[in-house]
Structure 1
Amino acid sequence: MYVILEIIQTLCYLFYCIAEATVRVFVPEKKKSFAGKLVLVTGAGHGIGRELALHFSDIGARLVLWDINKQNVENVVQEIQENGGTATSYICDVSKIEEIKSVADKVRREVGDVDVLVNNAGILHGASFLTLTDAEIKRTIDINLLAYFWTCRQFLPSMINRNSGHIVNIASMAAKKGVAYLTDYAASKCAVQGFTEALSDEMRREGYDGIFFTTVFPMFVDTGMTKFSHDRLSKMLSPAEVASAAVEGVQRNKKGVYIPSNLDWSVRIGNLLPRRFIDDPTDLMYRGIDPQK
């Protein structure tokens, strides 16, 4: 009897979720305010990180910017300040856990608790699997994945104490479909997706409903990391396009942000297509890169 009641309850919940999702297509969730919120962006000295910092500043957030390049990140701070915003920079190599811990301590002492953590710093080698060096593979995992663990372990506890916060992890469409010459990169981004989903579910199970998680899945972005891309169906994205879509998605508490947005439906439809068509696509359908070294 109890099983039957649970089945009925589950079906009712399913219909409710379908109805809610349908309504959200036409009436998006209201944007939440970031005025005065403290947003930390890693890899903020150039590319997507720089644009994320500028976009968050435009909606009233205070910025803490991390980068390994001192001159670049200070230039972004100056740009934000000249536009009337508030920003502070810190030099941090996110491939080193002890450096993350040390810089995080400084942020807490000098600026305060972080409201929004944006894990953006990343690296891409774009080489065939057997030509990648051991050091290159390790560095990809250290920066693209493990750094996300270490920063979350530093800033999540204060979010838990307040039951308030937002963690934004920049992944890639390579997390959805691995392609040649991106073995280390795709592995790291797939892991970012799994890590974010698991941590989000953990917070939900433990009752912290005020902490939100967003994973961002952009296609190829013109940041200089991807030099020889193949994509005949869409143009290479600009960092500003990615940042704009990502920030809007965060404002609406979206769990996943696909850029361009039609990729969301492409992924859903792709799951219904024959396996051979996905694994051995035509030249028109293929999205990937040529070796970069």
Structure 2
Amino acid sequence: MGFSEAIVSVVQVIGALLASVYFALECLVLSLIPRRFRRKDVEGDIVLITGGGSGIGRLMCLKLAARGAKIVTWDVNSAGNDETVKAVKANGGECVAYTVDLCNRNAIYAAAAKVKEEVGKVDILVNNAGIVSGKNFLEVPDHHVERTFNVNVLSHFWTVKAFLPDMMASNKGHVVTVASLAGLAGVNKLVDYCASKFAAVGFDESLKLELMVGGYTGVKTTVICPYYINTGMFDGVRSKLIPILNPEYVASEAVDGILLNTPVVILPGFCRLLIILKLVLPLKGGYMMYRACGGHMTMDDFKGRPVQNGTRLTEKQVLAAQTPNV
């Protein structure tokens, strides 16, 4: 690089820094405007949510349907899927379900083709499905590691490949990645889960930049990074300092993240400060902070949602399994 080119690069960097200050002020001003004035209209939009058969996925289905969106729920659990459809329709919304094994790339592509033919172009894709093992690294069977990556990140590649081209063609759409705070900071007994969620966060960030470079300003991406949520997926988790999140709160904030086109949603918000501390503290200092917050023992009593034949049970099935026959 010649001297003149170096000068141009320095000037560009300074210009970018000044622009960043402007954009930071812009974000501050927008944050002062009540959310109800900034939410986009999704009435009539087709929203596809993976893992919509239970938990946060079902709540997001209900909340987006209440805003007039047409819901498509994908889940490996057909019973849970049917419960979601009934719940949405009972509230006056539109919803169709497809039983899809997100570990199977060909099944994803086949289901995507059926959705396009039977429902229409997907406007908002929410990759919400996730699974967790919750064991020490050496105790996790190899096939569990593979399944974790298949569901938590590789399925995102196949769903986005299936639906993104239509979004790009119209320069309108939204790709949502439900990741985790564990995708920004490692956790004891969650090596495979954290690795998959780090990958999901990286997927979102790289896709976001690729769309911006390509000029697809109308195609938005949002990554949701919540702390532990009080659902069956993390049953038994304990937290010393950070409160375990209420599912309704997480679903509401996730939906608002979509409606406000928020690039990154971290829940609870003050955890942004902990992530910054992780980046600036030396390793030993970061580890002391980790133990002080109780991060080392959160998974000690983990149980998780029961699974039968590779399929997680619905809330009703869990309750039935816990009720003795008399």
Give the TM-score normalised by the residue count of structure 1.
0.94
How far the C-alpha of 1:131 sits from its partner, in A, is 0.9
Partner SS state of residue 88, structure 1: strand
> 2:88 touches 2:95 (CA, 8 Å); kept in 1?
yes
- Indicate the residue corresponding to 1:26 in structure 2: 32
Change beyond 3 A, Cα 1:112–1:130: same
Q: Tell whether 2:173 aligns with 1:165.
A: yes
Closer, same or farther: CA 99–6 of 1 in aligned 2, 3 Å: same
> Against the structure 1 CA distance between its residues 27 and 86, is the aligned structure 2 distance closer, same or farther, given a 3 Å change threshold?
same
Compare CA radii of gyration and give the structure with the larger one.
2
Q: Secondary structure at the match of 1:153?
A: helix
Tell me by how many angstroms 1:281 deviates: 3.1
Answer yes or no: is 1:183 the counterpart of 2:188. no
Distance 1:2 1:130, change over 3 A: closer
How many Å separate the matches in 2 of 1:200 and 1:9?
Answer: 22
Q: Could you tell me which of 41, 44, 47 is aligned with 1:39?
A: 47
Which residue of 136, 140, 156 corresponds with 1:148?
A: 156
Which of 219, 222, 242 is 2:250 aligned to? 242
The SS at the match of 2:289 is coil
Q: Provide the aligned length of Structure 1 versus Structure 2.
A: 293
Query: For the structure 1 residues 58 and 264, does the alpha-carbon distance in structure 2 shift closer, same or farther, using more than 3 Å as the test?
Result: farther
Mapped partners of 1:291, 1:69: distance in 2 = 26
Residue 128 (structure 2) aligns with: 120
Answer whether contact 1:128 1:291 (CA < 8 A) is retained: no
In structure 2, relative to structure 1, the CA distance for the partners of 1:188 and 1:9 (3 Å cut) is same
For 2:250, give the aligned amino acid. Answer: V
Q: Structure 1 residues 282, 160: closer, same or farther in 2, change over 3 A?
A: closer
Distance verdict in 2 for CA 1:4–1:99, change over 3 Å: closer
Q: 1:1-293 maps to which residues of 2 (within 5 A)?
A: 2-3=8-9, 5-27=11-33, 30-281=38-289, 283-287=291-295, 288-290=298-300, 292=302
SS in 1 for 2:30: helix
Give distance in 2, aligned partners of 1:220 and 1:261: 13
The letter for the 2-side match of 1:161 is: A
8 Å CA contact 2:242, 2:293 repeated in 1: no
CA 1:186–1:28: 2 relative to 1, 3 Å: farther
Summarize deviations over 1:190-217 as a string: whole Å, max 9, x none: 0000011001100110110000000000
Structure 2 distance, partners of 1:60, 1:264, is 32
Task: Report the RMSD for the aligned CA atoms in angstroms.
Answer: 1.8
SS of 1:225's equivalent?
helix
- 2:243 aligned counterpart, secondary structure: coil
Return 5+ residue gaps in structure 1 as ranges. Answer: none
1:4: Cα distance to partner?
Answer: 5.3
TM-score (norm. length: structure 2): 0.85
